[in-house]
Amino acid sequence: MMSDNILISKYKDKVELLDNGAVLIDSNDWKDISQYIFDSGFDYLMCITSYDLQNDEKLGLAYNFYSTENKRYLEVRLEFHNSINIFSVANIWRTADWHEREAYDMMGILFEGHPDMKRILLPEDWDGYPLRKDWKEPEYYNGMPVPKDKSYWE
């Protein structure tokens, strides 16, 4: 899980240890804490998962890190209002480039300082963010009807 609680010992007033061993932090502290995570030997950003809390227009991000040298795992979560821009870690961990673009494309999360913040899966003219719980499938896309029954695709 969190292995040695490196964030708890350094940022005890700014982090909350969750039941699953992950650490919840305020998005305003993410820039400083992310650099500390990297400087502490967590050289591998395994993935970034975005999620919709549905309450109070809040979204979340779960970052999963691994230290290849020390064989330690760390999960950090941020939960924030959907209008907040999140500090991009793409210049710290290059793998974040596409993970952050996917979180933008599917959930509408904007990453401040990202080198190429644009859609990665959907066309540029796509309206909305399809993994948000309040997203409604359109009737038409570029004049073509969008099929509602997709059972024949299976």
Is residue 44 a part of any domain in this protein?
yes
Is residue 42 a part of any domain in this protein?
yes
Is residue 56 a part of any domain in this protein?
yes
Is residue 148 a part of any domain in this protein?
no
> Any bridge partners for residue 140, and if so which?
145
Residues spanned by the domain of 123: 6-139
- The pLDDT of residue 149 is 75
Both tokens assigned to 147: 């099929």
Query: For 73-98, how does the pLDDT look when each residue is reduced to its tens digit (9 = 90+)?
Result: 999 999 999 999 999 999 999 999 99
Is residue 151 a part of any domain in this protein?
no
Q: At 37, phi and psi to the nearest 5?
A: -60, -45
Q: pLDDT class for 154, splitting at 50, 70, 90?
A: low
CATH code for the domain in which residue 108 is found? 3.30.460.80
3-state secondary structure at position 141: strand
- The pLDDT of residue 138 is 86
Mean pLDDT of 99-108: 98
Query: For 131-147, how does the pLDDT look when each residue is reduced to its tens digit (9 = 90+)?
Result: 999 988 888 888 888 88
* Location of structure tokens 């948000």: 132
* Residue of 142, 149, 112, 103 lying closest to 126 (CA atoms): 142
Is residue 14 a part of any domain in this protein?
yes
Do 82 and 63 contact (CB within 8 A), yes or no?
no
Has residue 10 got a pLDDT over 70?
A: yes
Answer yes or no: pTM beyond 0.85: yes
Strands 140-141 and 144-145: antiparallel
Do 86 and 111 contact (CB within 8 A), yes or no?
yes
Is residue 145 a part of any domain in this protein?
no
Quote the number of domains for the chain: 1
Is residue 154 a part of any domain in this protein?
no
Mean pLDDT of 24-42: 97
